[in-house]
Amino acid sequence: MKIRKKTVLNIAVMALILSFFVTPLGDYSKVLLNKWFSFSPEVTKEVNRGQIGSYDWKLKDENWDFFNFNRSKGRVVFINFWRSWNIQSVAEVASIQKFYDAYKGKIDFYIITNEEREPVEKFMANHGFTFPVTYSIVGDPMPVDGSKPPCS
């Protein structure tokens, strides 16, 4: 029985498509594709930049201790909402790590998730990220909209 070239090509394409959805190679490929095809945001003109209305926002730090966002009043802040299971978030956090390395100590970073602590710590360790993770308190009012991560 002779296998035709077209049949071999079809099997190879099907195997590639299947690996994209089922294997860890697929997860890596999805992150890579998101990095390649995601747009670069424009810098907002200083006149159009919004102000946070209320600084009364309860959060948890990486040690799971409560704190209030008031501690950043009058300072430059970077706020990002992300999820460790969200492919777009995973593609974005590598850039956030570079940004954090360049500006830590100069601005306050709030990289916020609503996940439990254990999967987030595992994700951070697996990827070698060192930026501080902040945990939102589900049900507490937020001064900014973080309902559709990733968003900054």
pLDDT digits (tens, 9 = 90+) for 87-125: 677 778 888 888 899 998 899 998 888 888 898 899 889
Residue bearing the bigger pLDDT, 104 or 31: 104
Tokens 């998101």, located at residue? 34
Residue 3, CA atoms < 13 Å, CB-side half-sphere: 6
Q: Identify the pLDDT of residue 2.
A: 72
Contacts of 81 (CB under 8 A, 6+ apart): 112, 113, 136, 146, 149, 150, 151, 152
Q: Residue 39: is its pLDDT beyond 60?
A: no
Q: What is the DSSP letter of 121?
A: H
Backbone angles phi, psi at 121, to 5 degrees: -65, -40
Q: What tokens does 108 get?
A: 């306050």
46-136 to CATH, choices 3.40.309.10, 3.30.470.20, 3.40.30.10, 3.40.50.300: 3.40.30.10
Q: Identify the pLDDT of residue 101.
A: 92
Asked which of 27-41, 60-74, 85-99 is least confident by mean pLDDT, the reply is 27-41
Q: Identify the pLDDT of residue 46.
A: 61
Asked which of 28-32, 69-73, 74-78 is least confident by mean pLDDT, the reply is 28-32
Domain with CATH 3.40.30.10 in the chain: 46-136
Longest pairwise C-alpha distance within the chain? 76
Residue bearing the bigger pLDDT, 131 or 20: 131
Residue 33 CA to chain centroid, in angstroms? 15
Alpha-carbon gap, residue 19 to 5, rounded angstroms: 21
Query: Is the separation of the CB atoms in 55 and 143 below 8 Å?
Result: yes
Beta strands 108-113; 77-81: pairing state: parallel
Asked which of 9-23, 42-56, 91-105 is least confident by mean pLDDT, the reply is 42-56
